[in-house]
A and B are shown apart, each in its own frame.
Chain A
Amino acid sequence: MSESEKLLVVKDLATTFATAGGLVPAVGGVSFDLERNETLGIVGESGSGKTVLSRTIMGLQPRANVTVTGSARVNGFEVVGASEKEKRQIWGTEVAMVFQDPMTSLNPVMRIGKQIDEALRVRMGMNRAAARARAIELLELVGIPSPAQRYDAYPGQLSGGMRQRVVIATALACSPKLLMADEPTTGLDVTIQAQILNLLDELKDRLKMSVILVTHDLGVVATRTSRIVVMYAGRIVETGSTREVFYHHRMPYTRALLESSPKVSNHPHTRLATIPGRPPNLLKLAQGCSFAPRCAYATDRCHQERPELQPAAEPGHSFACWNPLPTTRGVAAP
């Protein structure tokens, strides 16, 4: 498939914040792409730059003193360097976003139906009645019971799971081709999490869109993504198909991340594995591998030279490590 047909092409994307303490490379040169109708997971711990990355791709600069370099093309539209007015052309219709906390991502003083049909009327030029009908349709699509009555409810009258469904409905209003979900289930309890993730999965297929799931929770991406990008200190350290990353990962950080998530198969009272140390201070990034100080396999080379992404056995799978874990290819996957 040629590059131009891909929905999202990110090349050497870097976001740097100028702070009082110096330059903070929150995203330090990231490249990946996304096919149509594909779900990509971006995984990393807090401060790994995954949220900044997703907002940079959206073209949302948090405030002044930010420099963005590289390129991010959404369906052929170059986001980097585009003015707010230009980006308004793709916001909603090409890309849309589902936010982390459904408690703050809906306007508390606006009826939920109005929040959906605002976009329909402004962007799609629908009249009041058509927009209302479409908004109710969208509410039904995301699984809100008796949507016609809920249309007039305020966000404060809905539960967290319901609100997140409404947030998804608002994002879907103008049929975006790419849905960016930044920790869409973090604010919800576990049973609702599964419902929301299943909903996103179902909507992806039904509406033929692509989804980027940004999360710290590997359980979230395990069954619902086709590919995963693992981020650490603003860089991609491993990427590949979900299966490869889960079962044949080569980067020690990926393994550490996997080991530190609880499993149902664990014996009761099993101590949860943790990654020693803390995420690096982005102000004082070492010249070598950012994970080296916390890595059990680190050598002198790791501290001095930064490893670049190198291809692994399976096409599409690559990792950035000088001392990768031995390949488990050929060993039967569980």
Chain B
Amino acid sequence: MSNVANEFSLLEETLLIEKPEKTEPLGILFWICVGWIGVNVLAAILANVLPMKNPLFEDYNAINVGPGLHHLFGTDDLGRDIFSRVVFGSRVSIAVGVGAMVIGFGVGAPLGMLAAYKRGRFDTVLTTFMYVLLAFPAIIATIAVLSFWTPRALLKIIVVIGLASVPLVYRVIRTATLNVATKDYIIAAKVQGATDRRILIKELLPNIAPIGVSFLLIGIATVITLEGALAFLGLSVNPPTPSWGNMINEARTVLAQNPWLVIFPSLALCLFLLCLNFIGDRLRTHFDVTEVKL
């Protein structure tokens, strides 16, 4: 034992936080949100096997029925059950949200990290290119591509929105990495002989992960609204396949007469996005180990 250690006062030792594992709970609201997202995702996956009405079946004996016992959310002007359409519609929305973000992060995040870590010409060229793309409104680009890339299919929508989100993800991840990459501990890792790949994965990634995760969740929410906007313009999946966006779009003409046609898909969309945003925000503060919690 080093004799220097003996110089240590007891005070310093007591100042160390004894149980590093003890973290504050995430809170009930967080778990409610997680539960709601879980219910939505499960319902979307299991929609086919759940005892629900066919979302495409047109029941001419029950046209424009208000919300009630038989039709929980009512029916539309073709007699289709709104509840089952909202559930089936979540499939498109969630698939687009998650799928597009997987593409966006899959391409944008590694490029952003690499550019911020490598700097130099690679960074300059790539960043300039991305900023040029950013200057071009994503919605116009997606509208243009989707108008000509027919017939429309879910996969195409996911790919187009995913690619359109690449510069956004790139910018966020690059900035976050830039903050970390200049820190002494990155240089310290380097002079201990760590390879670039190791530094990127072991040192940089955990530091930017909290930002990445919250941006991912907020990104999913944003993409779902974007899909809604595209559907509103009639550029999402072809009717009669329901999505939250195209349901709102189709029903807006009869908003005054049958408000439930708009209210229920809007409510589903709103709650889903709210929960995603809240989870993202809560996770970011929760996993911030850099602040000592007193």
Pick the residue among A95, A108, A144, A159 that contacts B15 (CB under 8 A): A159
B contact residues, range: 35 or more
Pick the residue among A95, A99, A154 that contacts B184 (CB under 8 A): A99
Residues of B within 8 Å of A122, CB to CB, are 193-195, 198
Contact yes or no, B207 A152, CB < 8 A: no
Bound-state CA distance A320–B3 (Å) is 42
Contact yes or no, A105 B188, CB < 8 A: yes
Q: Which chain A residue shows the least CB distance to B7? A: A195
Residues of A within 8 Å of B12, CB to CB, are 159, 161-162
Stretch at the interface among A167-175, A245-253, A261-269, A302-310: A167-175
Among A96-112, those with CB < 8 Å from B are 96-97, 99-101, 104-110
Residues of B within 8 Å of A91, CB to CB, are 190-193
- The smallest C-beta distance from A192 to any residue of chain B, in angstroms, reads 9
Interface: A226 (CB within 8 A)? no
Q: Which chain B residue shows the least CB distance to A153? A: B20
Q: Which chain A residue shows the least CB distance to B11? A: A159
- The smallest C-beta distance from B196 to any residue of chain A, in angstroms, reads 8
Contact yes or no, A110 B17, CB < 8 A: no
Interface: A280 (CB within 8 A)? no
Contact yes or no, B8 A143, CB < 8 A: yes
Bound-state CA distance A45–B185 (Å) is 25
Residues of B within 8 Å of A101, CB to CB, are 184
- The smallest C-beta distance from B93 to any residue of chain A, in angstroms, reads 33
Tell me how many residues of A have a C-beta within 8 Å of chain B.
Answer: 53
Residues of B within 8 Å of A107, CB to CB, are 185, 189, 203, 206-207
Contact yes or no, A60 B191, CB < 8 A: yes
Residues of B within 8 Å of A105, CB to CB, are 184-185, 188
Contact yes or no, B183 A104, CB < 8 A: yes
Contact yes or no, A93 B193, CB < 8 A: yes
Interface: A243 (CB within 8 A)? no
Interface: A92 (CB within 8 A)? yes
Interface: B289 (CB within 8 A)? yes
Contact yes or no, B289 A108, CB < 8 A: yes
Bound-state CA distance A167–B188 (Å) is 9
Interface: B49 (CB within 8 A)? no
Q: Which chain B residue shows the least CB distance to A173? A: B192
Bound-state CA distance A110–B199 (Å) is 12
Q: Known A-B contacts: A88-B195, A97-B188, A108-B207. Give 13 more (CB < 8 A).
A: A58-B191, A89-B193, A91-B193, A96-B191, A105-B185, A110-B202, A122-B194, A152-B20, A154-B289, A156-B291, A159-B15, A171-B188, A195-B4
Question: B: which residues have CB within 8 A of A?
Answer: 1-5, 7-8, 12-13, 15-17, 20-21, 119-120, 183-185, 187-195, 198, 202-203, 206-207, 209, 289-292
28 A-B pairs with C-beta separation under 8 A? A64-B120, A88-B195, A89-B193, A91-B190, A91-B193, A92-B192, A96-B192, A99-B187, A101-B184, A104-B185, A107-B203, A107-B206, A109-B206, A109-B207, A109-B290, A118-B198, A119-B193, A119-B194, A140-B2, A141-B2, A143-B5, A145-B13, A154-B289, A156-B289, A157-B17, A159-B15, A167-B188, A202-B3
